[in-house]
Amino acid sequence: MLTFERARQVILEQIIPVGVEQVGLLDSVGQVLAQDMIAPWDMPLWDNSAMDGYAIRSADCNQPLCRLRVTGFLPAGAKAEGIGVEQGCAVRIMTGAPTPSGCDAVVPVEETDDGHLEVTLQQSVTKGQHIRVRGEDVMSGAVFVHAGAIIRAPEINILANFGIAQVPVYRRPVVAILSTGDELIELGRSPGPGEIVNSNMLSLAAAVRETGCVPRLLGIARDTEESHIEKLREGLKADVLITSAGVSAGDCDLVRGILEKMGAERIFWKVGVKPGGPTAFAMFGATPVFSLPGNPVSTMITFEEFVRPALLKMQGHQRVLRPLFKAILREEITKKPGKIQIVRIKLEYEEGRWFAGSAGNQQTAILKTMVDAQALAVLPAESCYFAAGDEVDVHFYGNYCDLTEAAR
Ligand code: AMP
Ligand code: MG
């Protein structure tokens, strides 16, 4: 049995980004940039005014209440060619307009009498003030967004400024999701005796989507070899395959055996973590195959801890594990030694410290506790007792974890 840490390591060693594609600028949001972006020109491209005001010569204005003749007007979008600031003169200028020749400072309109033919400056002037200098943001030839950056609104803005309409990003992998089990029915039917809704497929699809990948829903494989082979064959055409259930040691647990028969190489089965012990990982050629236990809480937690980091790495992300931080336990916890335990918690922030309380009944069949969990505590394998007041490692759970209540 692999340790939790080793299992993650082994998975990530097998995973490489799936490839690079060019996508339209706006469609690249959330994807990872695959190349350094080099500035094709200086930004800004010309010296320009940072304020609405007057372009002046600072040497004219070394005494207070200096008075200048206004000889021109430069709105944003105007060209400064042929316009200059002569000695004792000023040019009215708007934010973003190119500064005219001779000008070495801009005086904001608020620091003047707002005159149109003549203007009186109310304050002293420093050379260079309120002028944005050519190239001060980015110099031509410099890297302005590095490979590995996640495209967000600021990256979109700077890429657009440099006229880049197509962006090289890591492709979003297609992730096939297969549920197994004779007890399953699809959403939309009411469960009869012994039947349960195939909720794992939808929950996994949601979690896959949160990582940025594209889920492909394969439906249900029944507990027969033929049904498994048919569905698994379909699933192995995707970039990644995730299966749910049928991976323990029960009579109907067919997934691992059939995958191996079909040619998948088993990398591991069983991890020292609770919940999620029976998790299996295999490679079918270059296709990673995650077989997650079927108990919905185990499915979600093993996805979070093992599959999510892999899917992020496949999309070129460099930081694939959620950062751990310390929280102080509200109540004591006992556990068996030997396995990492993942505990669903609620967080509160008080006087600069995070406190962790149980999100509810921790049995793996209890879904509601999963709904209420804002974070997961990762309790070390070797320990068996944690007192109230002890510090433990926790990480947030989900992309949209709402901490407003916690911080109140
Ligand atoms: P198994 O690994 O097949 O023994 O399944 C473990 C538990 O997970 C059983 O209680 C199943 O009913 C439940 N389960 C299996 N597949 C799903 C699914 N797709 N959605 C919800 N629960 C499931
Ligand atoms: Mg089953």
Our CA dihedral for 45, 49, 50, 55, rounded to 10 degrees, sits at 160
Q: Is pLDDT at 294 greater than 80 in this prediction?
A: yes
* Alpha carbon distance 375, 258 (integer Å): 35
* Alpha carbon distance 23, 57 (integer Å): 47
pLDDT at residue number 235: 98
Confidence band (pLDDT; 50, 70, 90) for 251? confident
Local structure of 79: helix, strand or coil: coil
Is the CB–ligand 1 distance for residue 275 below 6 Å? no
Tokens 């006229």, residue located: 163
Strands of 174-180's sheet in order across: 214-221, 174-180, 240-244, 287-292, 280-284, 265-269
Strands of 118-120's sheet in order across: 105-108, 53-56, 89-93, 67-74, 118-120
* Alpha carbon distance 251, 230 (integer Å): 20
How many angstroms is it from 246 CA to the middle of ligand 1?
8
Our CA dihedral for 365, 370, 375, 376, rounded to 10 degrees, sits at 10
Looking at all shown ligands, the one closest to residue 291's CA atom is: 1
Query: Are 48 and 197 spatial neighbours (Cβ–Cβ below 8 Å)?
Result: no
Q: Is pLDDT at 81 greater than 80 in this prediction?
A: yes
Is the CB–ligand 1 distance for residue 179 below 6 Å? yes
* Alpha carbon distance 130, 46 (integer Å): 14
Q: Is pLDDT at 297 greater than 70 in this prediction?
A: yes
CATH topology of domain 325-407: Beta-clip (2.40.340)
The CATH superfamily holding the domain 20-43+136-170 is: Molybdopterin biosynthesis moea protein, domain 2 (3.90.105.10)
Atom of ligand 1 nearest to the CA of 252: 3
- In the chain, residues under CATH classification 3.40.980.10 are 2-17+172-314
Confidence band (pLDDT; 50, 70, 90) for 403? confident
pLDDT of 107-133, one tens digit each? 999 999 999 999 999 988 999 999 999
Q: What is the mean pLDDT of residues 163-167?
A: 98
pLDDT at residue number 395: 97
Q: Is pLDDT at 252 greater than 90 in this prediction?
A: no
- In the chain, residues under CATH classification 2.170.190.11 are 48-132
pLDDT of 44-63, one tens digit each? 999 999 999 999 999 999 88
Q: Is pLDDT at 35 greater than 60 in this prediction?
A: yes
Q: What is the mean pLDDT of residues 360-383?
A: 96
Ligand 1 pocket test: pick from 195, 199, 200, 367 the residue with the most ligand atoms within 8 Å of its Cβ.
Answer: 200
* Domain 2-17+172-314 is found in CATH 1.10.240.10: no
Question: pTM of this prediction?
Answer: 0.94
pLDDT of 314-346, one tens digit each? 999 999 999 999 999 999 999 999 999 999 999
Is the CB–ligand 1 distance for residue 250 below 6 Å? yes
Is the CB–ligand 1 distance for residue 272 below 6 Å? no
pLDDT of 166-187, one tens digit each? 999 999 999 999 999 999 999 9
pLDDT at residue number 337: 95
Q: What is the mean pLDDT of residues 393-397?
A: 97
Residue by residue, DSSP assigns 189-248 as: SPP-TT-EE-HHHHHHHHHHHHHT-EEEEEEEE-SSHHHHHHHHHHHTTSSEEEEES--S
How many angstroms is it from 299 CA to the middle of ligand 1?
9
Query: Are 180 and 289 spatial neighbours (Cβ–Cβ below 8 Å)?
Result: no
Is the CB–ligand 1 distance for residue 201 below 6 Å? yes
- In the chain, residues under CATH classification 3.90.105.10 are 20-43+136-170
Looking at all shown ligands, the one closest to residue 292's CA atom is: 1
Please give the mean pLDDT across all residues of the chain: 96
Query: Are 218 and 244 spatial neighbours (Cβ–Cβ below 8 Å)?
Result: no
Confidence band (pLDDT; 50, 70, 90) for 406? low
Strand ranges (E), 48-130: 48-49, 53-56, 67-74, 89-93, 105-108, 118-120
Q: How far is CA 153 from the centre of its chain?
A: 12
- In the chain, residues under CATH classification 2.40.340.10 are 325-407
Q: Is pLDDT at 352 greater than 70 in this prediction?
A: yes
How many angstroms is it from 224 CA to the middle of ligand 1?
16
* Alpha carbon distance 230, 79 (integer Å): 68
CATH number of 48-132: 2.170.190.11
Residue by residue, DSSP assigns 273-334 as: EES-TT-EEEEETTEEEEEE-SSHHHHHHHIIIIIHHHHHHHTT-S--SPPPEEEEESS-EE
Is the CB–ligand 1 distance for residue 296 below 6 Å? yes
Query: Are 14 and 70 spatial neighbours (Cβ–Cβ below 8 Å)?
Result: no
Confidence band (pLDDT; 50, 70, 90) for 219? very high
Atom of ligand 1 nearest to the CA of 245: 2
pLDDT of 126-161, one tens digit each? 999 999 999 999 999 999 999 999 999 999 999 999
Q: Is pLDDT at 407 greater than 80 in this prediction?
A: no
Is the CB–ligand 1 distance for residue 244 below 6 Å? yes
Paired strand residues for 37: 145
Q: Is pLDDT at 405 greater than 80 in this prediction?
A: no
How many angstroms is it from 374 CA to the middle of ligand 2?
29
pLDDT at residue number 398: 86
How many angstroms is it from 294 CA to the middle of ligand 1?
4
Atom of ligand 1 nearest to the CA of 248: 2
* Alpha carbon distance 187, 195 (integer Å): 11
**R_g (Cα) of the chain, nearest Å:** 31
Q: Is pLDDT at 408 greater than 60 in this prediction?
A: no
Is the CB–ligand 1 distance for residue 243 below 6 Å? no
Tokens 């926790």, residue located: 394
